[in-house]
């Protein structure tokens, strides 16, 4: 495969669909979530956790292990939030590097960075004990430059990761990509051991089992309508009755709704989309990703991809900052995938789906408290590790008063923003201009 000629904009293609094609996450096909008996909500609890994704369930597991009476409520079924919909690419770090965090936030910034490193290790440990069927594998991560101009930034990042953070990291020039990513359109990349693959829904099911075993009660299909402050504690009004609780943790990330208006003004939900191909077979899979790396590119409209455990290519991206249908996004992703891997032309798509990523105005995650309610969210697309660990830290804070050093970082908002991101199409125009530079 020639590496020297980046493709022009991929032509528009309509994705060929496999028999049994469906618009639900691939992961749901082979995950069994614990069955939870329908039972009436108790009137009181030590802690109510709103949201049963990685954040909420990791928090519940930790809180219950400290003997707290914990109720987890979720508006949907287990796995319906982003935690059951993501690409299963685990990485450490936040979107700002350590130098930036130190300069801007001092000790709190350093603490946030360290938390993000601990978060990565936490997933490996937790998956091994609570979800061995989630097939966690330390595969490494390859970040590819879609423009020659992006190599400079990648080189800087590579040096920082290697020298300051002790990661095993190397820069690959274009000619060296063949053995790693036999695909078109990239000028080189940064390869780091700091990347892993996981089956996210099975990992989530493992966290659910762990929290239930530790003593938490999980109530799916229970929507919180509002949270009323009582001065000491809160009353949580849900679709199935009210619960009075000493503490409330809001862990709703990209699905935050009017029940949590304080968070809604600070979280920007952005749709991300994924397609999965039919199984490629060993030879073709090896021709796509010989080392089974997690891969992404340097676009703002980024693409990310990996092989699934059964040898499909999972290919995801943002496709647009304006909401689009799954069918439109699927065809755009297919075109982009064929632009990168022309050898896959004609391979059929078996699954296409979408989910909400929770972004923040400072591109940082936040674990903080306002009006007696604790909030953990804003992982900007890296919530497998960050969500699991922020949830755990939230549990420690609520149960034992262990306040994280970064919890008083300001959680910024935009004036007049109330949860409907009217500005995203404009941001999209700006980002696609940047992507061409
Ligand atoms: C397509 C896609 C691909 C992604 N890929 C990756 C990846 O490869 N690696 C990575 O690290 N991250 C990835 N992410 C991000 C990651 O999935 C999220 O950051 C993470 O799952 C967030 O977990 P959470 O528990 O905070 O929120 P969620 O898992 O989104 O859970 C929030 C829950 O809150 C519930 N909720 C909301 N409002 C209410 C209410 N009023 N009452 C009751 N319940 C409520 C929702 O029903 C939902 O279940 C991806 C996200 C998407 C959408």
Give the whole-angstrom CA distance, residue 371 versus residue 235: 13
Q: Is the CB of 393 under 6 A from ligand 1?
A: no
pLDDT at 2 over 60: no
Please provide the average confidence, as pLDDT, over all residues in the chain: 93
Quote the tokens at residue 23: 């618009």
Confidence check: pLDDT of 9 > 50: no
How is 297-364 classified by DSSP, letter by letter?
ES-SS-EEEEE-TTSPEEEEE---SS---HHHHHHHHHHHHHHH-GGGTTPPEEEEEEEEEEEETTS-
Angle at 99 between CA 82 and CA 382, to 5 degrees: 10
State the pLDDT confidence band at 301, using cuts at 50, 70 and 90.
Answer: confident
Q: Give which of 250, 253, 306, 244 is closest to 275, Cα–Cα.
A: 306
Count of H-run helices and E-run strands, the chain: 9, 19
Pairing between strand 44-50 and 241-250? Answer: parallel
CATH class (in words) of the domain with range 17-435: alpha beta
Kindly give the distance from the C-alpha atom of residue 222 to the centroid of ligand 1, in angstroms, as a whole number.
17
pLDDT in tens, 308-360: 999 999 999 987 777 799 999 999 999 999 999 999 999 999 999 999 999 99
Q: Are 183 and 306 in contact (CB under 8 A)?
A: no
pLDDT in tens, 161-218: 888 888 899 999 998 888 888 888 999 999 999 999 999 999 999 999 999 999 999 9
Other beta carbons within 10 Å of 78: 25
- Both tokens of 133, joined, read 């069927």
Q: What H or E segment, with its residue span, contains residue 426? A: helix 424-435
Q: Is 253 in the pocket of ligand 1 (CB under 6 A)?
A: yes
Residue nearest to atom 32 of ligand 1 (CA): 252
Provide the pLDDT for residue 11.
Answer: 62
User: Alpha-carbon distance 142 to 293, whole Å?
Assistant: 6
Alpha helices in 85-199 (DSSP H): 98-130, 150-163
Question: What does the CA dihedral 31, 365, 74, 215 come to, rounded to 10 degrees?
Answer: 80
**Does the beta carbon of 251 lie inside 6 Å of ligand 1?**
yes
Give SS3 for 17.
Answer: strand
Token readout for 411 is 């959680």
CA of 61 to the centre of ligand 1 (A): 17
Is 50 exceeded by the pLDDT of residue 49? yes
Element housing 201 (H / E): helix 200-214
The 10 Å Cβ neighbour count of residue 171 is 17
pLDDT tens, residue by residue, 100-157: 999 999 999 999 999 999 999 999 999 999 999 999 999 999 999 999 999 999 999 8
H-helix or E-strand containing 242? Answer: strand 241-250
Closest ligand 1 atom number to CA of residue 57:
25
The structure tokens 């000790």 sit at 107
Nearest CA to ligand 1 atom 10: 382
What is the rounded radius of gyration, in angstroms, for the C-alpha atoms of the chain?
21
User: Is the CB of residue 52 below 6 angstroms from any atom belonging to ligand 1?
Assistant: yes
> Is residue 258's pLDDT more than 70?
yes
Within 10 Å of residue 202's Cβ, how many Cβ atoms? 25
Identify each DSSP E strand in 162-240 by its residue range.
169-173, 188-192, 196-197, 217-219, 224-229, 234-238
Residue pair 193/48 in contact (Cβ under 8 Å)? The answer is: no
Mean pLDDT of 64-92: 97
> Which residue, by CA, sits nearest to atom 22 of ligand 1?
383
Q: How far apart are CA 399 and CA 47, in angstroms?
A: 9
| Distance between CA atoms of residues 389 and 261, nearest Å | 24
Query: Token pair of 370, please?
Result: 């306002």
Q: What percent of the chain has pLDDT over 70?
A: 97
User: Quick one: which of 340, 393, 327, 354 has its CA closest to 14?
Assistant: 327
Beta strands in 38-96 (DSSP E): 44-50, 70-73, 89-90
Give the phi and the psi of residue 357 in degrees, each rounded to 5.
Answer: -95, 140
CB-side exposure of 318: number of CA atoms within 13 Å?
Answer: 23
Q: Residue 250: CB within 6 Å of ligand 1?
A: no
pLDDT in tens, 382-411: 999 999 999 999 999 999 999 999 999 999
């Amino acid at each position: 495969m020639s590496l020297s000629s980046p493709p022009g904009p991929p032509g528009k293609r309509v994705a060929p669909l496999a028999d049994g094609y469906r618009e639900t996450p691939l992961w749901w096909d082979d995950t069994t979530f614990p069955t939870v008996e329908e039972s009436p909500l108790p009137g009181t609890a030590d802690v109510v956790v709103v949201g049963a994704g990685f954040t909420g369930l990791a928090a519940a597991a930790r809180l219950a292990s400290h003997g707290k009476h914990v109720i987890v409520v979720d508006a949907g079924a287990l796995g319906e939030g982003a935690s059951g919909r993501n690409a299963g690419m685990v990485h450490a770090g936040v979107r700002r590097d350590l130098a930036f965090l130190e300069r801007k936030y001092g000790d709190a910034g350093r603490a946030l960075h360290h938390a993000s490193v601990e978060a990565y290790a936490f997933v490996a440990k937790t998956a091994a004990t609570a979800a061995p069927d989630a097939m966690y594998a330390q595969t490494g991560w390859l970040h590819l430059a879609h423009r020659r101009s992006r190599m400079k930034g990648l080189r800087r990042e590579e040096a920082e990761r290697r020298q300051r953070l002790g990661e095993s990291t190397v820069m690959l020039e274009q000619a060296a990509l063949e053995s790693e990513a036999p695909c078109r359109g990239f000028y080189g990349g940064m390869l780091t051991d700091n990347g892993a693959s996981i089956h996210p829904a099975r990992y989530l099911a493992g966290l659910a089992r762990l929290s239930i075993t530790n003593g938490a009660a999980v109530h799916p299909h229970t929507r919180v309508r509002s949270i009323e402050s009582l001065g000491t504690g809160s009353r949580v009004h849900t679709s199935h009755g009210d619960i009075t609780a000493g503490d409330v943790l809001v862990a709703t990330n990209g699905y935050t709704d009017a029940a949590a208006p304080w968070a809604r003004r600070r979280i920007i939900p952005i749709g991300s989309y994924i397609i999965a191909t039919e199984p490629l077979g060993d030879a073709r899979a090896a021709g796509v990703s010989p080392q089974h790396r997690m891969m992404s590119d340097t676009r703002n409209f980024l693409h990310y991809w990996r092989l699934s455990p059964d040898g499909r290519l999972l290919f995801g991206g943002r496709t647009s900052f304006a909401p689009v249908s799954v069918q439109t996004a699927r065809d755009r992703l297919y075109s982009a995938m064929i632009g990168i891997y022309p050898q896959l032309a004609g391979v059929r798509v078996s699954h296409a789906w979408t989910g909400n990523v929770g972004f923040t105005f400072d591109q940082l995650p936040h674990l903080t408290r306002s009006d007696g309610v604790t909030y953990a969210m804003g992982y900007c697309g890296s919530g497998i590790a960050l969500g699991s660990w922020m949830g755990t830290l939230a549990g420690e804070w609520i149960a034992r008063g262990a306040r994280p050093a970064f919890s008083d970082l300001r959680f910024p908002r935009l004036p007049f923003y109330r949860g409907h991101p009217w500005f995203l199409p404009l941001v999209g125009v700006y980002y696609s201009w940047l992507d061409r530079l």
